[in-house]
Each structure stands twice: as C-alpha cells, then as structure tokens.
C-alpha cells in the first residue's frame, strides 16, 4: 500500500474514475430498482470491455488449439497465449516467461505446489508454517499434504487488530520448517502482511516461501524479484480478468526439479509405453488443452490495469478505505473486524447482533452488493469469536458516493432491526 506521501502525490493527479466506470458495462444497471453499487470485489471483480472484447475476438476470429497446429489460426492462438505469458512475466517482474505457469486460479496454484514440490520435499516430522488469517485454499492443501506425509501444520497467530505476531513467527521457524505459506493481503481482514520481512527471515533459515497473492495483485504493485519469494499465486478474476484462469509464479530452479502436476498432452517431450520424457517448465505443468480464451483475456486485463497504473489504483482505493472507515465509524453498532495499520480496500464488520446474512440481504434490496459470511476463512472468524462478517471491498471503479449509499443501507438495516 502506498504511504500517505504517495497517496498525496497521486491525489494531485487526475484519477478519472467516471471514465473508468464507463469501461465496465455491467455497472450501468439497476438491481431491485436501484442503481447497482458493487462492493464485492474481493470475491470477484467486474470485467472491462477490453477484456470482454478480447475474449470475444478470440472466439470470433482465431479460436484454435495451441502448440499443435500448423495452420494459421492455431499459430495465432499460440502466439496470443504465449504473448500473454510475457505480459504476466512483466507484470510480476519475473525474470523469464518460463517461470509463469497458468492455473485455474490461486487455489490450483497452491495445490500444484503442495502436490508436486510438497510431495517430493516434505517428510514425516517436517513442518509447514501458515498464518491464522489464511483463506481455506492456503490451509487445506497443506493439511492434506501433512496428513499424507506425517508432517505438521504450524500457525502464526495474529493480534486483535488482525496483524501477524512477527516475534511468534520467528519462533515458529525451526529446523523442521520446510515451507512458509502466507497470504500477502487477507481477504477477511484486509491486512497487508510484511511479506518482505517474512521472506528474508525464512530464507535466512533456509526455508522456502509461498505467497498467496489472490488479494494483493489487484491492489499492490508486486515485484517477485524484489520480494524474492519462491512461489507466488494469484487468480485472474480478482484482477478484472475472466474466471477459471490464474497464475503460479515459481523460481525456475524449483520448477525444474518439481515433478509434473497432471499427466497428459502438451506436458511431454516424448511418450512411449516404456517411458515418458517431460517437457520443460512451464509446459511440464500445463497438461491438456488450457483455458486459452481466459489466458488471452487475462493478458488484456493486465494491460488495462497497467495502463491506469497500480500505484494510482492503490492510492484511489486507499482513499475509499479511509473514507469508508470514517463513514461507518459513525454507527455505534459497527464493529470493525480487521484494523491493521497496513490495510487494503477491505472493510469487514459486524452490526450489533444482526446476522451478516441479514445485513447482506437488506443491502442487496438497496442495490448494494457486499459479501456476508465467513469468507472461506473460518479460523479468522473463530479468532474473533464471530460466525461471520459483512464485507465491503473496493475496486478501481468505486466512488465515495457508493460508500454513502452503503451507509444509508446500513441505516435502513438498523431501522428494520430496531
């Protein structure tokens, strides 16, 4: 997240949010007779016309399978598919395109690492270290691995603000630790974790680090070479790209020694019934016909956010976070869940004794889309002793007026339950 200095810097430049909103056709509609106020961006983001049209053009003009056709359409599709890999490489500042593996999303990226690197390198008695604020997709794959191998899952605790206890983290990194897997930004709390410090410390003890970037890449500029993480995963759909496509970044030296994830077409150099020679990364990890349209659409989405500038998007969303926190603070019934000093544009809250599902339902009738539930982070709910939260999460197209509508809808909810 930008410092207040950078926020001020970008505030002085025009962030023409009204112009950007016009790029998202879905925004221009009413739900339940009210203008749509979409504040569920941590679940998934809306898609700009450039992404929709890029996918549409692929299907209308050059749909073909990749890497296997000599005909023109196949060559065009292959080029677009591999060009998108270079876009992702540049977006993350990976050192080469072969460090970029296409997956279905963050969930599949984590499962891939657990099932390939993990099964090869984790033994009985070893430990995997995660945090208390992980999404289920960065818990369950490690539990499955630990169960299979007789290894142990360790958890970095958090404080009441929803921040990692870094002293505890350091104590938990021991000679048994094989991997630290933590989220960059928490989906349930909004906390931005000190991943540079985590990676440096783990590396000083010879431990590899996987970062779950599902909630960070749309909001924070990520440079995997500066971070020096071993693995980084994200989902396209949270950064204005189609669903069903995502990315695993891995340092090439790891990818080269990892066994394949799935077997099939496109991941081999040669096959006989006697022996199969695998292709090199990234193709070794991309068995079968992939989500070609999604890949090309994701390339268009990264072009879109890069043209606006992630620093400017982060500054805009930070303004919304500050404004939203101020506006919601005026309700004495609001309890914020997640009050870290470093936060992304996520406001998770409860409202007196009203169940978050009721809040979500009443807000929906006012046109306001938020998420209510445990956010696939049940241990976070347990930590704060609540069943669920209501969560408003911002994207680049949101405006302060929408937060005012959210506040009016909260007022209405309080009146209904008075």
Residue 43 binds ligand 7TS, judged by CB under 6 A: yes
Q: Rounded CA gap, 198 and 101, in Å?
A: 24
- Please check whether residue 165 is in contact with residue 159, taking contact to mean a CB–CB distance below 8 angstroms: yes
Contact 113, 210 (CB under 8 A): yes
Whole-number minimum distance, CB 215 to ligand 7TS, in Å? 5
Can residue 235 be called a binding residue for ligand 7TS (CB under 6 A)? Answer: yes
- Interface with ligand 7TS, residue 107, by CB under 6 A: yes
Smallest distance from ligand 7TS to CB 167, Å: 24
Instruction: Out of 41, 78, 98, 137, point to the residue binding ligand 7TS (CB under 6 A).
Output: 137
Which lies closer to ligand 7TS via its Cβ, residue 178 or residue 375?
A: 375
SS3 content of the chain, % helix, strand, coil (to 5): 45, 20, 35
Cβ proximity to ligand 7TS: between 77 and 337 the closer is 337
Q: Applying CB under 6 A, does 214 fall inside the site for ligand 7TS?
A: yes
Q: How far is the CB of 86 from ligand 7TS (least distance, A)?
A: 23
Strand partners of residue 161: none
Nearer to ligand 7TS, 85 or 375 (CB): 375
Interacting residue with ligand 7TS among 106, 146, 217, 239 (CB under 6 A): 106
Question: Which pairing describes strands 368-369 and 37-38: parallel, antiparallel, or unpaired?
Answer: parallel
Cβ of residue 331: shortest distance to ligand 7TS, in angstroms? 23
Residue 387: other Cβ atoms inside 10 A: 13
Check residue 77 and report its DSSP letter.
H
Which residue in 27, 49, 376, 414 is the catalytic one?
376
Separation between Cα atoms, residue 404 and residue 399, nearest integer Å: 9
Residue pair 231/199 in contact by the 8 Å Cβ criterion: no
Take residue 179 and report the two structure tokens written for it.
């991997």
146 belongs to the catalytic site = no
212 touches ligand 7TS by CB under 6 A: yes
CA of 361: how far to CAs of 295, 350, 364, 378, in Å? Answer: 34, 14, 5, 21
Task: Select 17 or 376, whichever has its Cβ closest to ligand 7TS.
Answer: 376
Residues that bind ligand 7TS (CB under 6 A): 42-43, 105-107, 135, 137-138, 183, 187, 212, 214-215, 235, 371, 375-376
Catalytic residues: 376
């Amino acid at each position: 997240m930008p410092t207040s200095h950078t926020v001020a810097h970008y505030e002085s430049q025009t962030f023409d949010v009204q112009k950007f909103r016009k790029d998202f056709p879905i925004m221009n509609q009413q739900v339940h007779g009210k203008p749509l106020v979409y504040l569920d961006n941590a679940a998934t983001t809306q898609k700009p016309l450039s992404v929709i049209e890029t996918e549409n053009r692929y299907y209308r003009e050059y749909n073909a399978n990749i890497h296997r056709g000599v005909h023109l359409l196949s060559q065009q599709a292959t080029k677009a598919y591999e060009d998108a890999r270079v876009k992702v490489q540049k977006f993350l500042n990976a050192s080469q395109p072969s460090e970029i593996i296409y997956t279905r999303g963050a969930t599949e990226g984590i499962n891939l690492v657990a099932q390939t690197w993990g099964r090869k390198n984790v033994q009985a008695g070893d430990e995997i270290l995660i945090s208390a604020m992980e999404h289920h997709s960065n818990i369950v794959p490690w539990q499955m691995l630990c169960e299979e191998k007789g290894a142990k899952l360790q958890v970095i605790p958090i404080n009441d603000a929803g921040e990692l206890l870094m002293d505890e983290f350091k104590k938990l990194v021991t000679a048994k630790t094989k991997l630290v897997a933590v989220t960059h930004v928490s989906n349930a709390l909004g906390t931005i974790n000190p991943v540079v410090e985590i990676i440096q410390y783990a590396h000083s003890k010879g431990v590899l680090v996987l970062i779950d970037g599902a909630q960070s890449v749309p909001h924070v500029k990520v440079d995997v070479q500066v971070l020096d993480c071993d693995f980084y995963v994200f989902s396209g759909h949270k950064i204005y790209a189609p669903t069903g496509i995502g990315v695993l970044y891995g340092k090439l030296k790891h990818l080269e020694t990892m066994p394949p994830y799935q077997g099939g077409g496109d991941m081999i150099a040669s096959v006989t019934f006697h022996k199969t020679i695998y292709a090199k990364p990234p193709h070794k990890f991309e068995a079968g016909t992939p989500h070609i349209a999604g890949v090309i659409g994701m390339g268009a989405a990264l072009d879109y956010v890069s043209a606006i500038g992630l620093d400017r998007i982060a500054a805009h969303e930070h303004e919304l976070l500050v404004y939203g926190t101020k506006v919601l603070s005026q309700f004495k019934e609001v309890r914020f869940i997640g009050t870290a000093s470093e936060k992304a544009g996520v406001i998770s809250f409860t409202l007196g004794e009203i169940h978050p599902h009721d809040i979500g339902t009443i807000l929906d009738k006012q046109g306001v889309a938020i998420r209510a539930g445990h956010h696939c982070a049940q241990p976070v709910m347990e930590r704060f002793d609540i069943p669920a939260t209501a969560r408003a999460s911002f994207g680049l197209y949101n405006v302060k007026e929408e937060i005012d509508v959210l506040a009016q809808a909260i007022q209405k909810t309080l009146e209904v339950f008075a």
